[in-house]
Amino acid sequence: MKLKSKILITLNSIKRNYYNWRYWNNVYKNMMKYTQSLASKDKSYMLLYKNKPGIALSFDDSFRINDWYKYGNKIFGYYDVKVTFNINAIHHFKGKREHTQKEIDMLLELQSMGHEIGHHGFKHKKATDYSNDFGLDSWIEDEIVTLIDWMDQQSHSKTLEKFKKPVSFAFPHFLFDSKHVSELVPKYFKIVRGHLYKENLISFNHSGFTPSICLDGYYSYNLHYIKKIMRLVKKSGKNLIFTCHSILPKEFDWDVYGWGKEAKKSGTWRITPQMIQTIINEAREIGLEFYTTSEIAGIATFIDHNFEKCIRELISNPSLKWIPLSELSPIVELDLSNQGISNLDGIQYCVNLEKLHLGGNNITDFRLLKKLPKLKKINFGNDLKEKISNINY
């Protein structure tokens, strides 16, 4: 390689590193500016579910489902590091086709591991551009309502489980304005995610627009500043959303997918499994929790509609669009006998539950009962006693 080329490569590397440092330094300094008055002893805004500030990892664009499924499952575990996967109904590059049944199954299996499936627009259209061309009402109908309806029509090919009704929305390309936010909240969603804004931190039970910090694409990540920002989150007592896209090893060749030149730029929007693991390790070391976006919004969700119906009968206002997490905390005894329940997702929010009756249901997975620290007595009924060998008390 000629000396001139080597010098040019070195200069470009120095330039990239400088811009990376300058961007993340500005993000951190801006957060410091707005958060100096946040470190209060008053923790009344804390979530009754965990009472710990935390991180929400938010992944966009479900044409990346193979990456999410292959690498995410290994890192996140079962109801451990819970994240939000924001989906569309179409593949961005394979002829704009809708998701195959195999892809839908993978998305629903991620949901069954404790993750949130958020709304990211039916065809991933830019909110402001589409609204300028066709009107805001058309964007709502074509991108929002259509995907909600599409999600409601899908089910897993084997378990028959369905998508939960989405609580959160992520604006494609981070493009939006106040009109779009007011049209979406609270009619369609409890919380809608964009990009940087002021301190970038979110209180529990938040409603409306929420900012995030992107870790990939041309924003890239800077581990030094990410760690400093996470410590700032801990100090503030609030929460932060990190936005990402694909989960892929650094050495993975994007061209292997064969999606053509059109997809080349999308291949730069990726974060490595190693970096995600580093963030997880850092969060645990300093005492941060991991939440889904809907949990930060203070909402409890359920896979099983029969289970949700039982919970609604116990809360102060059963007709609420979404069930507040705060309504589940006071529950100390729960009788779910003979209710046709097959999935206990959502019971992890009943953190003060002491007695539970489960007989007469078709439940085969009891692992979530381990998430209930105060549970003392369980009545499985004769029909379930043979199915609980994986539970130890």
Number of C-beta neighbours around residue 134 at 10 A: 13
- Residue identified by tokens 């938040």 is 206
Cα–Cα distance measured from residue 334 to residue 343, given in angstroms and rounded to the nearest whole number: 15
Cα–Cα distance measured from residue 300 to residue 315, given in angstroms and rounded to the nearest whole number: 12
Q: Which of 17, 26, 120, 5 is nearest to 64 (CA)?
A: 120
Cα–Cα distance measured from residue 153 to residue 146, given in angstroms and rounded to the nearest whole number: 11
CA dihedral 227, 228, 233, 236 (to 10 degrees): 160
Cα–Cα distance measured from residue 303 to residue 111, given in angstroms and rounded to the nearest whole number: 9
DSSP structure class, residue 205: T
Residue spans of the domains in the chain: they are 44-296, 304-387
Q: How far is CA 80 from the centre of its chain?
A: 13
Q: Which two tokens stand for residue 138?
A: 């058309």
CATH of domain 44-296: 3.20.20.370
For residue 136, the one-letter residue type is: L
Cα–Cα distance measured from residue 358 to residue 380, given in angstroms and rounded to the nearest whole number: 5
Q: In sequence order, which ranges of 196-297 are alpha helices (DSSP H)?
A: 223-236, 273-286, 293-296
Strand-pairing partners, residue 242, are 57, 213
CATH of domain 304-387: 3.80.10.10
Q: Which two tokens stand for residue 249?
A: 């090893």
- Written as tens digits, the pLDDT of the chain (393 aa) is 566 666 565 666 676 777 888 999 999 999 998 876 655 444 544 555 677 999 999 999 999 999 999 999 999 999 999 999 999 999 999 999 999 999 999 999 999 999 999 999 999 999 999 999 999 999 999 999 999 999 999 999 999 999 999 999 999 999 999 999 999 999 999 999 999 999 999 999 999 999 999 999 878 889 999 999 999 999 999 999 999 999 999 999 999 999 999 999 999 999 999 999 999 999 999 999 999 999 999 999 999 999 999 999 999 999 999 999 999 999 999 999 999 999 999 999 999 999 999 999 999 999 999 999 999 999 998 765 555 555 544
Q: Which two tokens stand for residue 141?
A: 């109908």
Residue 53, preceding bond cis, omega within 30 degrees?
no
Tell me if residue 307 falls in helix, strand or coil: helix
